[in-house]
Chains A and B, each alone.
Chain A
């Protein structure tokens, strides 16, 4: 070992997802280093990972050009032995940290902040997404230096693949003893999509060099516009507790678009009653706010009229154009997939007609079996008209079967909340939150309703009646709600409810 020779190679670990061009990125790095005469080697785990699985590439280089002894390069990355770590996705960055590859004494981490959700996060019945802040914190804390930005966005904006942005970021980090033009030449010599890749490279380079400005994604929440018809009511809302005001306004605007001013009046009347319950319970507006949120959603239940309203909404086509990148005068068609069954049709009929039909359908086993599948082109004149006429049924909605059913269910839920608030605001809040279970269409909606009813009968009502310890009931409702969202088959909820009842029985026996 002579003093002039480096003690160890530079080690680079790249984490990417299948199809992101991690192999191409590796080749660019190899070719740039080899051009400078550096001994360099890369390895990878290809194969099944290319289909959206996670994969890694590993590179070692000795930044000394020309002759000398041949270094012995390792083929696998070592725990705590990585100088530069690059990840195309936040969770994969965190995965390398948790495996111990990234260390605070050595590793410069360059990672994208965007998330490509894994299956478990996507299939959850409610929100299965991981907390990104925790991942960002762990990556930052365990790196010597961390360079984090949304590479996916940079790639989209520059029209390149994410690997080019990653190369630009590597160049910009200055961690490798390779000049900029060597990276650019590697892209040029590769000869594929050179223009796009150079733009992506430049985007990554500039973001890292000029410092990453915090440009948050545009807020994605779409609020309803104010309506002149609501002027008087909005003044009334202004007198409500500050904590709840914003939600109530949003709810009122939602419901005037959904139905009419009279319906908003009903919403506010219900909330005024709840406001008193909130005050009595000392919930300081928290209960009112949560009831306002869920009540507005429940009152704007998803019937076929609402679907029709949404499908022909003029802002919708503008959104589709934007999402699909359709030019202003480019012809396009939109085909909707609908499959109404007997229940959907009965939902818009008056109860006096709907009930006998549903009864007959039940006896003949048509429910859940008889559906009419349709594909309707909403951009055609006839297709549009079908939705338009359906949407026009809005004025008859208050006399529909579904409306009656929903209002009865809402009243029953509100009564439970009011009763619970007499005992404990926490209990009332938990019952309010159970509205989350009821959502969707068809089977999903039915499953949600059934789950809610099970929790109501076996936990909520016993708690209000006092047969279940109320302090414990708060936790019990929360865990039953979580369990109901674990699996669509309902096994989780069944087990959870059984456990709650068993505990209660044991306590009773012990007393």
Chain B
């Protein structure tokens, strides 16, 4: 927020656009941010384009122009589905940039104290934001028709909607027979492709002569509804404003929400020319089947995301579970990253998630008040993002205690596999050369262990040691294991090449003896691997399903490690299958098979 204010206060010369991802519903992996508040407090214009490609492309171009014309940065907000929409738009010709790495700017701009975010010029800048840039933006929006007016014959009512929700509103109207699929609507619609700032003149023009309007904006508080109410008051217009009285304060405006919201608006506004009661009944009819369908299906357990097959982070949580069996439960500060999946079943580990790289910092307040040392979990991405300073440096500086587990998998951004300072490679190929362990040592961490993350027993023993030792101070365990997704991409290609060349390749895969497994599923409760599942029991006298390893197994070895570390059962085995076997392999295999065949007599097992 500091950077936003310091960017917008002096203002910009060229166009600056910040792209935002914002989501109120099913796809959100973070808390709803309400960028609107940030736009208002920093005087940054907020674009919320209609979510079809021509409109988004147009607003990007116009947004840069708006920024340049008003010397203010702009933000372009996209909801998750708009980020992943496929469609078509007519592209314009590329234009070569005036300045670039190929055509650099000769020298720095002339020193101008007025362009610094530093007192006393900030007070003048504050005035400029309100007195010059805001009116300039409103004029630009109006002149370039960035907001749209969709006419309609039901002229005594209207809908004011932010651009991002326009398609959803039009579809709801279509389903209520109030619009067609080409966007022709019977109710006039004012589309706010620029959500902030509002243009008071446009608002007044749209609302004049209407008995009521509905404001459709997601989230809380109802910033736009409030502003419109104020503008109408100032203009002394008596148009009634509906908004959060018909639509919910929280959650995504899905088709069902909008159908019911619009219907209840019509019932409340009572426009002339349509039968509001009939429309309300129609909206109810479109969704009335849902309770019965829900009941027919019955309760369904959720299907939550989890660690990939063979993930190096899963074994660490198996080890934490095993260590806690002996040491007892400890406070665990979780963090942002794949490792946050440990908060789901079967691990259900983690007491707080504060932010990316914030786990150790958040444990600072917990540690001194807990009988047992807290554990903080952090990825290497989170470590570099801020954990190294807010977490490690702060803990050492404040003479803290506690255990920090750093997942060193070599990449950041989950399955995005982006490089970061301690990656083994970078976009340019050469490794960036920074190292988590060396950094920790240079900061002064003395209790430091680096453990192969798949070594469950060693990890559990180290954890117990870290939790029990009398030595005070920060104890760091680096759980070392490359992201399996990245590894598989590399290994699969390598193996395919080796197989093609006729070279010997050994494939490892794990399996469960269904004759020996009794179907208790302890192994699954300690692993949760997607490849480890259940299948019907082959035993005619038993019914509980047995564990089974499916073909997607990558042979990471966790099954065997867990079976050993937790003393589970003798069901697990590892198959090592030799492809392009050499003569020695074949000869030995034949000898062994012959011997075993000679010793075994066909005998059934109970």
Cross-chain contact A117 with B541 (CB below 8 angstroms): no
A337 to B518, CA, bound (A): 16
Known A118-B302, A331-B585, A488-B525; judge A94-B297 contact (CB<8 A): yes
Q: Which residues of A contact B79 (CB under 8 A)?
A: 75
A105 to B329, CA, bound (A): 53
Distance in Å: Cβ of A264 to nearest Cβ of chain B: 11
User: Quick one: CB contact mask for B271-289 with A, threshold 8 Å, 1 for yes?
Assistant: 0000000000000001101
Cross-chain contact B87 with A41 (CB below 8 angstroms): yes
Cross-chain contact A69 with B182 (CB below 8 angstroms): yes
Cross-chain contact B603 with A257 (CB below 8 angstroms): yes
Shortest Cβ distance from B304 into A: residue: A53
A69 to B509, CA, bound (A): 56
- Partner of A306 from the list B51, B308, B606 (CB cut-off 8 Å) is B606
Shortest Cβ distance from B542 into A: residue: A297
- Partner of B86 from the list A18, A30, A254, A255 (CB cut-off 8 Å) is A30
Q: Which residues of A contact B129 (CB under 8 A)?
A: none
User: Quick one: CB contact mask for A440-476 with B, threshold 8 Å, 1 for yes?
Assistant: 1111100010000000000000000000000000000
B233 within 8 A of A: no
Cross-chain contact B525 with A441 (CB below 8 angstroms): no
Shortest Cβ distance from B600 into A: residue: A314
Distance in Å: Cβ of B519 to nearest Cβ of chain A: 7
Instruction: Count A interface residues, CB 8 Å.
Output: 137
Q: Which residues of A contact B414 (CB under 8 A)?
A: 48
Distance in Å: Cβ of B506 to nearest Cβ of chain A: 9
B168 within 8 A of A: yes
A123 to B345, CA, bound (A): 9
A119 within 8 A of B: yes
Interface centre among A79, A99, A306 (most CB of B within 10 A): A79
B533 within 8 A of A: yes
Distance in Å: Cβ of B182 to nearest Cβ of chain A: 4
Cross-chain contact A339 with B536 (CB below 8 angstroms): no
A104 to B524, CA, bound (A): 38
A397 to B574, CA, bound (A): 29
Shortest Cβ distance from A442 into B: residue: B567
Cross-chain contact B345 with A384 (CB below 8 angstroms): no
- Partner of B545 from the list A26, A40, A127, A314 (CB cut-off 8 Å) is A127
A373 to B2, CA, bound (A): 57
- Partner of A220 from the list B82, B536, B596 (CB cut-off 8 Å) is B536
Q: Which residues of B contact A49 (CB under 8 A)?
A: 305
Known A46-B84, A251-B541; judge A71-B605 contact (CB<8 A): no
Q: Interface residues of B toward A: which range?
A: 35 or more
Q: Which residues of B contact A326 (CB under 8 A)?
A: 575, 577
Cross-chain contact B305 with A48 (CB below 8 angstroms): yes
B26 within 8 A of A: yes
A198 within 8 A of B: no
Cross-chain contact B603 with A313 (CB below 8 angstroms): yes
Q: Which residues of B contact A26 (CB under 8 A)?
A: 86
Shortest Cβ distance from A70 into B: residue: B182
Distance in Å: Cβ of A150 to nearest Cβ of chain B: 14
B222 within 8 A of A: no
A25 to B566, CA, bound (A): 42
User: Quick one: CB contact mask for A99-120 with B, threshold 8 Å, 1 for yes?
Assistant: 1101110000000000011111
Cross-chain contact B541 with A247 (CB below 8 angstroms): yes
In B504-552, the 8 Å CB interface with A consists of: 509, 511, 513, 515-516, 518-522, 524-525, 528, 530, 532-536, 538-545
A163 within 8 A of B: no
Known A47-B27, A439-B519; judge A324-B575 contact (CB<8 A): yes
Cross-chain contact B303 with A118 (CB below 8 angstroms): yes
Cross-chain contact A127 with B544 (CB below 8 angstroms): yes
Cross-chain contact B577 with A330 (CB below 8 angstroms): yes
Cross-chain contact A73 with B52 (CB below 8 angstroms): yes
Cross-chain contact B606 with A436 (CB below 8 angstroms): no
Interface centre among B252, B534, B586 (most CB of A within 10 A): B534
- Partner of B567 from the list A30, A76, A371 (CB cut-off 8 Å) is A371
Cross-chain contact A91 with B520 (CB below 8 angstroms): no
A360 within 8 A of B: no
- Partner of B167 from the list A72, A126, A254, A294 (CB cut-off 8 Å) is A72
- Partner of B606 from the list A72, A309, A334, A381 (CB cut-off 8 Å) is A309
B556 within 8 A of A: no
Interface centre among A44, A47, A116, A385 (most CB of B within 10 A): A47
Distance in Å: Cβ of B529 to nearest Cβ of chain A: 10
Cross-chain contact B515 with A313 (CB below 8 angstroms): yes
Known A75-B81, A79-B290, A337-B564; judge A324-B511 contact (CB<8 A): yes
B572 within 8 A of A: yes
State which of A130-138, A180-188, A278-286 sits at the interface with chain B: A130-138
Known A41-B87, A122-B524, A444-B522; judge A314-B602 contact (CB<8 A): yes
A45 to B589, CA, bound (A): 50
Shortest Cβ distance from A341 into B: residue: B567
Q: Which residues of B contact A443 (CB under 8 A)?
A: 522, 566-567
In A1-45, the 8 Å CB interface with B consists of: 1, 6-9, 17-18, 26-27, 30, 34, 40-45
Question: Can you identify 25 A-B contacts, CB atoms within 8 angstroms?
Answer: A26-B86, A27-B86, A42-B85, A43-B85, A45-B81, A48-B305, A78-B171, A80-B286, A94-B300, A117-B533, A224-B606, A257-B605, A306-B606, A310-B516, A316-B515, A324-B509, A331-B578, A334-B576, A335-B574, A337-B559, A337-B574, A373-B564, A442-B569, A443-B522, A444-B568
Nearest 5 A/B pairs, CB to CB = A53-B305, A258-B606, A78-B255, A100-B290, A331-B589
